[in-house]
Amino acid sequence: MSTSVVVVGANGRMGRTICDVAQNSPEYTLAGGVDSPARVAELSLRMVGKCPVSDNLQDLLGRVPANSVIIDFTAPEVSVASARVAAERGMALVIGTTGLSNAQLATLESLAAKTPLLWSSNMSIGINVMRKILPELAKALGPDYDMEIMEIHHKHKKDSPSGTALTLAEGLAKARDWNLSDVRCSSRDGLIGERPTEQIGVQALRGGDVVGVHTVYFMGAGERIEVTHHAHSRENFARGALRAAAWLAGQKPGKLYGVQDMLA
């Protein structure tokens, strides 16, 4: 059965890729697209005749099948607003937006009691498998190995470090029984002294059109391990988000799901 999807942020980099993949895959039906008032005319030109578009999610949902799953890749405050609309209507929602504050994530968690909600800072299957194995590596190597993360993204990315780098860092901190907020270092400048043992460096590079690179380093005496994930195109995130939408359509509300739940 084909999963009907509505894309919020449909004229953005990720939104356009999700619409293209959905329109070219028999498993999905693109039911509608939403973008900001400033960009909806351009979206309408791109999607002409294919499906309804709007600058208002509430308005659009009245014109699409009630079992559609909403997919939102926009900005934190927009995604939280989409979650409120989805919860009111009892519609499933997949969010891929990064840079949400703890308070915004707590709001998503409370709305997840009312409707199936999934949020993931990275929809790629490769990154999610990496998330599973990194804490095992951290434990197996032990406290003598310093852990650092470096991420690279295109110059338009607004948040830093990336949501994915922070999620990977969370897993590493947990494996050592540390609190990430106590041990994260994202800036080194000047006479900073020796690196403390209880620290995880999370550094960001920005430039060009890099889709996404994440490297985790485990550095010990005389050796180091590097685990790197390269995203070659946005299509892998788009396919992950669509797969999450199809999976979420069969889930009950109750918790804020992640891609890890889908893979389990």
CB of 169 to ligand NAD, least distance (A): 16
13 binds ligand NAD (CB under 6 A): yes
The number of residues that bind ligand NAD (CB under 6 A) is: 24
54 binds ligand NAD (CB under 6 A): no
- From the list 4, 98, 128, 167, which residue makes contact with ligand NAD (rule: CB under 6 A)? 98
Structure tokens at 263: 């893979």
Q: CB neighbours of 22 closer than 8 A, spacing ≥ 6? A: 5, 7, 28, 29, 30, 242
- From the list 30, 69, 71, 73, which residue makes contact with ligand NAD (rule: CB under 6 A)? 73
Q: Which of the ranges 28-36, 137-145, 186-194, 220-228 carries the binding residues for ligand NAD, by CB under 6 A?
A: 28-36
- The three-state secondary structure class of 145 is coil
Q: Is 153 a catalytic residue?
A: yes
| Residue nearest to ligand NAD according to CB distances in the complex | 12
- From the list 51, 70, 94, 123, which residue makes contact with ligand NAD (rule: CB under 6 A)? 123
Q: Is 157 a catalytic residue?
A: yes
- From the list 30, 51, 71, 78, which residue makes contact with ligand NAD (rule: CB under 6 A)? 78
Q: What is the DSSP letter of 87?
A: H
Task: Supply the Cα-derived Rg of the chain in whole angstroms.
Answer: 19
Spell out the alpha helix ranges (H) of 102-186. 102-111, 125-141, 163-175, 180-183
Q: CB neighbours of 159 closer than 8 A, spacing ≥ 6? A: 98, 99
Structure tokens at 102: 């703890």
Binding site for ligand NAD (CB under 6 A): 8-9, 11-15, 34-36, 39, 73-75, 78, 96-99, 120-123, 237
